[in-house]
Structures are given as C-alpha cells and as structure tokens.
Structure 1
Amino acid sequence: MRKTRFARYNIGQVIRHRVYAMRGVIFDVDTSFAGTDGQPVPDGTAADLVYRLFAEDDEVPYVACIAEHDLEPDDSGEPVGHPSLGAMFEIGEAGGYRRHRRALN
C-alpha cells in the first residue's frame, strides 16, 4: 500500500529550480511518476511528486516537468512571462497566479 503524499507546492505558485536558472508557475501536480526512478530524495524516501509548470529561463519559455525535491519557492515578486499563462491564470492580489473563474451554465 502506498503512503499518501501531499504536495508541497500549489497550483499557481511561482517556483524556481534549486540549481538551474529557471522559474515558472505550477499548473499541474503528477503523482504517477512518484518513486519510479528509484532515486532517494532529500528526506530519505524514494517517492517524489512531479510538477508541470509554465517555465522560463534567460532564453525561451517552455513547459517543464520537475521533481519536487528540485524546486523551491520563488519569492522575488517578479512576474513570469510565459505566453500560455493568460489562458489558464489571472494574477492574484499578492502577485501570485490563480485559475480563471469559469461561468457555469
């Protein structure tokens, strides 16, 4: 039986990579890859969540899939300039991103 994991980061949260000059906005959390690579993560377990994000670096915007242990919060307050953000998110009061509210018929 698998142990229940809770995501450390939230949809719409701005994060950055711990090593590389990359930052982005999370749009999905994927548990299907958790622990499949068998590599231990910093807390000693073999399970890890994978986040999908609208990412950018110094050259180009792209979509990335990054393991939770490779990410950390980005508290710079700088907006993320990925062109796909507007289709899914609006900017919140605190500078973060929140999903568009959809009108229900």
Structure 2
Amino acid sequence: MTQSVSARFGLGQIVRHRDAGFRGVIIDVDPVFAGQPGATGPISPDQPFYQVLALEADGGFMAYAPEDALEHDPDLAALTRDAERQFFTIDKGGHHAPRAQAIH
C-alpha cells in the first residue's frame, strides 16, 4: 500500500524558516527528501521538503527545507515591490511564482 503525503505549503507561498529566520518563496515541492539516504540527520526524511528562494537585502539564495522547519509568513513586507516585479509573477490570489515557472 502506498502512503499519501500532503504538502502544507504550495508553490508561490511565502514562508519563514523557524530556525534560520530567513523568509522566502516556495518554488518546488518534493513529497519526501530527495537527497542521499541518511543526509537529513535527525530530521525525518518522510515529510515534504521544499525548494525555497530566500531573498535578503544583499541578494538571495536557494534553501532545501523540511516542512517541519517552515511556517506560513503573512508578512509580505519581507518581499519588496521591486523584488516582486524582478523575480516573480503574482496571480489574482496573491501567490508568487518565479518568472521562469508558471503558477500551478
């Protein structure tokens, strides 16, 4: 029997990493950890993992984070209007997606 996994966050959703404190936008979702077995250490690999594009004042970076470490971030102030226009398309619902990838 196959176990069904449901992701808590969707593409384009703005999240905050609880431990590292960065804010970013979800740009991809894996239903479980997609790296080398055992590479997550004490973090369970049997949960959704997210590619997060984190934007900071001095630029951005990509992070691969487990669902347990992320929380919804309603504070859109972390994303400036200039960054929105430069990096993302925004649908009528306010969901952000990288310009190179359509909102699903």
TM value normalised by structure 1:
0.67
Whole-Å separation in 1 of the counterparts to 2:86 and 2:69: 26
Q: Aligned partners of 1:68, 1:30: CA distance in 2, in Å?
A: 10
Q: Paired residue for 1:13? A: 13
Q: Based on CA coordinates, which of the two structures has the bigger radius of gyration?
A: 1
Cα gap change, 1:56/1:74 in structure 2, threshold over 3 Å: closer, same or farther? same
The Cα of 1:76 is off from its aligned counterpart by: 0.8
Conserved? CA contact 1:28–1:53, under 8 Å: yes
Unaligned runs of 5+ in 2: none
Measure the CA separation in 1 of the matches of 2:72 and 2:56.
16
Cα contact 2:32–2:46 (8 A) shared by 1? no
1:29-70, CA deviations, whole angstroms, 9 ceiling, x for partnerless residues?
Answer: 013517x547466xxxx6211100111245431011100000
Superposed displacement of residue 97, structure 1: 1.1
RMSD: 3.3
| Higher relative helix content | 2
| Matched ranges for 1:82-97 at <5 A | 86=86, 89-97=88-96
Question: Structure 1: which 5+ residue stretches go unaligned?
Answer: none
Q: Identity over aligned residues, as a percent?
A: 30
